[in-house]
Structure 1
Amino acid sequence: MANIVITGANRGIGLALAKLYEARGDSVTAVCRETNDEIEEIADQVLSDIDITNEEQLPGIAMVLDRILDDPIDVLINNAGLFTNETLHDLDSDRIRAQFEVNAIAPLMVTRELLPLMAEGTKIANITSRMGSIEDNTSGAYYGYRASKAAVNAIGKSLANDLKEHGVMVAQIHPGFVQTRMVGFNGDISPEQAAEGIAARIDDLTLETTGSFWHSNGQPLPW
């Protein structure tokens, strides 16, 4: 049984990942702003009312996990995300700043806080987007989202380099265009399909591939 920690686990991809790992027989810790009956039934423990951009709350997550987990964290999935669209004709610096806080800075701070609970073999998955690929950007706009996901990709690469000597692995995983509330339930695949692909990429992650940027279908993505 593995110890799995998922942020933003109360809906969408996070909830689908919680279901998948629970079905595997793993111990799931859900971290979220708001809980609900579904995640309460699935997860072994739910840490709710958590704002991952509030650094004062993060030590509390580590304290609770240190108390309830007998073994190190096996997988940390930084899944919580924020998506808005900014164009040159509709720029809002507050929206852009909020996306950086949630999509890029928070995964780094959560990871740092939980590092003492990790060990050799722990895997960290940052749920990013191919919209953070500079090479793949052929349509523009989405200034805050694109830039914040490019930032978390850079952060994940640095984490991979810094943690490799400790046997901790990091991957940046694009889930695909997923039918979630974040995108108005448009999309090409269901959250369950995305979760299966993400879990497969995490399973396949090694020290040789740490730091990579992947589509959940296994395709390497350009930076």
Structure 2
Amino acid sequence: MSEKQTVVITGANRGIGLELARHYADAGCHVIGVCRKASSELSEIAARVVEGVDVTTDAGIQTLTRALEGQRIDLLINNAGLLQDEKLGSIDFDSIRTQMEVNAYAPLRVSEALVSHIPSGGKIANITSRMGSIADNDSGGRYGYRASKAALNAFGKSLAMDLKQKGIAVAQLHPGYVQTRMVNFGGLITPEESAKGLAARIEGLNLENTGSFWHSNGDELPW
């Protein structure tokens, strides 16, 4: 980004969110990290931290909107996410509901609450997963995670269509298989590598390709 801009990142206290905060802070952006509980690393990186925000609740969204009242947002990154596992024969439907709340409904809640802060030329990046691709599913399982990320992709595509006339572009971005706590640090790439790739995809996002579903390495993914 060539000029100082404001970037808001949910789930910014660790993992990919923290590395995205670091990337944009190093690029000279005004980074606002949003989380339930701040980490010392985020506090050192971000220009501002808004903590105590549960993005799955009305109260959490109200806390966020009050904290950001009057704040221009050039880039909103919906990063907060949850991965759990369910297997056929022992499906925990409460687990599926929770993942839908965190992975799908929360990004839509946040986007709706903050879209009035985003000017024409602004962007929304939803951190999704290729596991939300129905066409790419050749291994089954992960019912809640797959369904919630597929729902997020659908929400993001609709947001892209609805916001195009306002000059706001939206992307669904798969970070790659990243070495974070979510996967017990068993990924193939580091959070730093993922953040760099995600930032490149965000930089290339515009009104011509809004609504796309990309891998952080630049590949366009199937729905």
TM class by shorter-chain length?
A: over 0.9
- The match for 2:213 is 213
TM-score with structure 1 setting the length: 0.97
* Of 2, 18, 40, the match for 2:43: 40
* CA apart distance, 1:37: 1.0
- CA deviation after TM superposition for structure 1 residue 63, in Å: 2.3
The Cα RMSD (Å) is 0.8
Gaps of 5+ in 2: none
Say whether 1:5 aligns with 2:28: no
Where does residue 175 of structure 1 map in the other structure? 175
Q: Which residue of 2 aligns with 1:60?
A: 63
Paired AA for residue 43 in structure 2: E
1:163 is matched with: 163
SS at match of 2:122: strand
- Quote the Cα distance in structure 2 between the aligned partners of 1:117 and 1:66: 8
The one-letter code of the counterpart of 2:103 is N
Question: What amino acid sits opposite 1:168 in the alignment?
Answer: I
Runs of 4+ in structure 1 off by over 6 angstroms are none
Aligned to 1:107: 107
Cα distance, 1:34 vs structure 2? 1.1
* CA shift digits 1:22-66 (9 cap, x unpaired): 000100000001112110011111111110001222133122222
CA distance in 2, matches of 1:165, 1:110: 20
State how far apart, in whole Å, the 2-side matches of 1:55 and 1:171 are.
25
Q: Report the Cα distance in structure 2 between the residues aligned to 1:62 and 1:196, rounded to whole angstroms.
A: 28
Structure 1 runs not aligned, ≥5 long: none
TM-score (norm 2): 0.97
Residue in 2 that maps onto 1:93: 93
Q: Secondary structure at the match of 2:103?
A: helix
Q: What letter corresponds to residue 106 of structure 1 in structure 2? A: A
Identity %: 58
Q: How many residues align?
A: 220
Deviation per residue, 1:68-121 (Å, 9 max, x gap): x3xx21100000000011110331000000000000000001000001111101
